[in-house]
Amino acid sequence: MLLSQLPNGAHALVQRVVSASADVGTATLRRLGELGFIAGEPVQVLRRGPGGREPLAVQVGETLFALRLLEAQCIEVQAIDVCVN
């Protein structure tokens, strides 16, 4: 499953980061890793921007990032159930 497919509020774990489009080069993928999108890190899609598509406000670990759809499509995740605390 891709990060971009998660509904708002859903939690997941990053599985891997792979290019989903010819527009996304290795530099962008490496940067995603440097920002914390690393296998095993917890992520949550908090909300989407006006229009409901992009950008996505994504929390990875303890950091919140705004990602455009194309970046979010490069992040494969595994959805997990987390009790809301």
Partner 1 sequence: MSQSLGANPSLPIRCIALVGNPNCGKTALFNLLTGARQKVANYAGVTVERKVGLVHLRNGQTVSMVDLPGAYSLTAATPDEQVTLEVIEGRRAGEDTPDAIVAVVDATNLRMNLRLVLELKRLGRPLLVAVNMADVARAQGLKIDLARLSSELGLPVVETVAIQHNGHAQLLAQLEQQLAQPWPSAPANTAPASSADLQREVRRILALVAPLAPIQGRFQYRLDAVVMHPVWGLVVLAAVLFLIFQAVFSWANWPMDAIKGAMAAVGDWILAHMAAGPLRSLLVDGVVAGVGGVLVFMPQILILFFFILLLEDSGYLPRAAFLLDNLMGKVGLSGRAFIPLLSSFACAIPGIMATRTIANWKDRLATIMVAPLMTCSARLPVYALLIGAFVPERRLGGLSLRGLTLFGLYVAGVVSAMGVAWVFKRVWMKSGYQPLMLELPPYRRPSLRNLAQGLWERAHIFLRRVGGIIFALMVVLWFLSTYPAPPAGWDAAQGPAIQYSFAGMMGHALQVVFAPIGFNWQISIALVPGMAAREVVVGALGTVYALSGADASVADALSPVIAQGWSLATAYALLAWFVFAPQCLSTLAVVRRETNSWRYPLFMAAYLFVLAYAAAFATYRVTLWLGG
CA atoms within 13 A on the CB side of 19: 10
- Number of residues engaging partner 1 in binding (CB under 8 A): 39
Q: Which two tokens stand for residue 42?
A: 């917890």
Q: For partner 1, which residue of 6, 71, 73, 77 counts as binding (CB under 8 A)?
A: 71
Task: Convert residues 17-56 into a mask of x (bound to partner 1 by CB under 8 A) and - (unbound).
Answer: ----x-xx--xx-xxxxxxx-xxxxx---xxxxxxxxxx-
C-beta of 41 vs 79, nearer to partner 1: 41
Rule CB under 8 A: which residues touch partner 1? 21, 23-24, 27-28, 30-36, 38-42, 46-55, 57, 59, 61-68, 70-71
